[in-house]
Amino acid sequence: MKKAEEVAHGNLATETDRSEQKIEFDWDAVLDCVKRDLYFPPSWLFSIKVAKIEGKMVILEAKTHFQALWVKNHYLQLINDTSRSLYGKESFVVTIDAGEENSVARETKRTRNTDKQERAESHDPQAASFFSSTNTFENFVVGPSNQFAHAASYAIAENPGMAYNPLFIHSGVGLGKTHLLHSIGNHILKKYGDRLNTFCISAEHFTNGVVQNIKTGSMDKFRNLYRFNCDVLLIDDIQFIAGKDSTQEEFFHTFNSLYTAKKQIVITSDKPPSVMKNFEERLKSRFEWGLTADIQPPEVETKIAIIEKKAEEEKIEIPGDVASFIAQNVLSNIRELEGSVNKLFAYSKMFGERITLELAKQLLKNLVKKETPKIINIELIQKEVSTFFDLTVKELKSNQKQKKISEPRQIAMFLSRKYTSSSFPEIGNRFGGKNHSTVVHAVKNVEKKINKDPSVSNAVAAISTTLEKFITS
């Protein structure tokens, strides 16, 4: 059995415990395990080597100062945890040499790292924070749909805590929220090095921290870690803590102390604060204290630019007609767009075939199903809109005038006009016998709000994405 497999099966530690022989540090085995725990390990991570082993002290070496700094800030904790799970508690202390320090400085650094590691460990075993080195501003394609969110993110990354606080980014799935969040982290790291401590975590990760620390009675330590050790908090998919009262309570206090200390907070979510369900009002209102930026589904031109960027990164030629074919057929989600492009690239590399429109059409057959669309009808629109706004279809069709019902009704009328060929009077009829002028007014009103009110434009975009799935599935 390979070392990594043995580790995965939990065999190695037992073997080691039983044996009396001197333990040798096996960097490849450690790296193998570390790799499994990272979503996007940067490729250069595998070029890190062991420079020296002094007793129980392992000194790693990176090719560049930047890589060393990155490992130090983001992976060292995980590397040490992995090493301990392999070799037992008292085994090795792993540190990294950036090549710029003399041995005295290294000694100080060792103490600092070990300290930091012990603090993080005891306060929150899940505190390690990672951001993907592949998600940067450099490879984020900017278009009308995302330029505001991009500009706001860039401003934050340049001057954390000085521009807008918090920055709240929201969009439907697969439109670039995580990419922007990680770009902020990468930029801050590049610009400020270890002068700023950036935590980039998912809300799920934060929740796990709360749960574990409640269990072990170490909430004070957990609190201190986030509230006093963090200069920039990047938190992804905050919707995850909906309905989780203790986590919301904890996050509320974390938010307050970071905010008061002028530390930067960036939050992403699948919805704007105003329509988030099962969230305390005091949290929702804080989310709106700074700047709220949405990302809309990309236009065809932006999608083509993203495809071309990917091709450039992969050093693959992609003809213009293929790029437009994919851009026009993948409806809105960039993750799906990437999936299609990757499939095409992988095939062409594997079989050495040139990329042509024919090949694209054949490989991406599922995209072209659009030619035989399933129908989006008014019932479906009413159902999706009601679900999104947590209403019943009956309420949606009623005559009630409160904004929380009338606005979704107008959106549903707007979408009925957009996706069906029904006339204004027909739509009015299907919404509880409304007059045709009511429908005309609704459509105009939503068109106006789409350009001004992010909560409306986001709702329209999110529901459109769901509806369009019916055509493509």
**Binding footprint of ligand ADP on the chain (CB under 6 A):** 135, 139-141, 146, 171, 173-179, 306, 334-335, 338
The listed partner (Mg ion, ligand ADP, none) that binds 464, CB under 5 to 8 Å by sort, is none
Nearer residue to ligand ADP within complex by CB, 13 or 305: 305
Binding at 367: pick from Mg ion, ligand ADP, none (beta carbon under 5-8 Å per type): none
Rounded distance, CA 248 to CA 264, Å?
19
Report in angstroms how near the CB of residue 177 gets to Mg ion at its nearest: 5
- Is residue 77 within 8 Å of residue 117, measured between CB atoms? yes
| Minimum gap (Å) between residue 335 Cβ and Mg ion | 9
Nearer to ligand ADP, 445 or 466 (CB): 466
Identify what 168 binds: Mg ion, ligand ADP, none; CB under 5 to 8 Å per kind. none
Cβ distance to ligand ADP smaller for residue 68 or 364: 364
Positive or negative torsion for Cα 393, 397, 398, 401 = positive
Q: In what order do the strands lie in the sheet containing 93-97?
A: 49-54, 57-61, 93-97
Please report whether residue 183 would count as binding Mg ion according to CB under 5 A: no
Closest approach, Cβ 309 to ligand ADP, in A, equals: 6
**Type of residue found at 74:** H
Residue 331 binds which entry of Mg ion, ligand ADP, none, with Cβ cut-offs from 5 to 8 Å by kind?
none
Instruction: Output 229 or 457, the one with its CB closest to ligand ADP.
Output: 457
Q: Which does 166 bind (CB under 5 to 8 A by kind): ligand ADP, Mg ion, none?
A: none
In this structure, the number of other CB atoms found within 10 A of the CB of residue 9 comes to 10
Report the nearest approach of Mg ion to the CB of residue 167 (Å): 15
3-state secondary structure of 187: helix
Select the binding partner of residue 205 from ligand ADP, Mg ion, none (C-beta < 5 to 8 A, by kind): none
* Structural contact between residues 297 and 277, judged by C-beta atoms closer than 8 angstroms: no
Per DSSP, 299 falls in state P
x/- site string to Mg ion, residues 138 to 177, per CB under 5 A?
---------------------------------------x
- Whether cis (ω within 30° of 0) applies to the bond prior to 297 is no
Tokens of 280: 């305390």
Structure token digits, residue 29: 């085995």
DSSP notation for 335-386: HHHHHHHHHHHHHHHHHTPPP-HHHHHHHTHHHHGGGSPPPP-HHHHHHHHH
Smallest distance from Mg ion to CB 183, Å: 13
- Helix, strand, coil % over all residues of the chain, rounded to 5: 60, 10, 30
CB of 173 to Mg ion, least distance (A): 7
Residue closer to ligand ADP, measured from CB, 123 or 303: 303
Residue nearest to ligand ADP (CB): 176
DSSP state of 23: P
Per DSSP bridges, beta strands 57-61 and 93-97 are parallel
- In the complex with ligand ADP, which residue's Cβ is closer, 179 or 409? 179
For residue 200 the two structure tokens come to 């980039």
Q: How far is the CB of 313 from ligand ADP (least distance, A)?
A: 10
User: Of the candidates 95, 113, 178, 269, which one interacts with Mg ion according to CB under 5 A?
Assistant: 178
E strand or H helix that includes residue 115: helix 103-123
334 binds, among Mg ion, ligand ADP, none (CB under 5 to 8 A by kind): ligand ADP
Contact residues for Mg ion, defined by CB under 5 A: 177-178
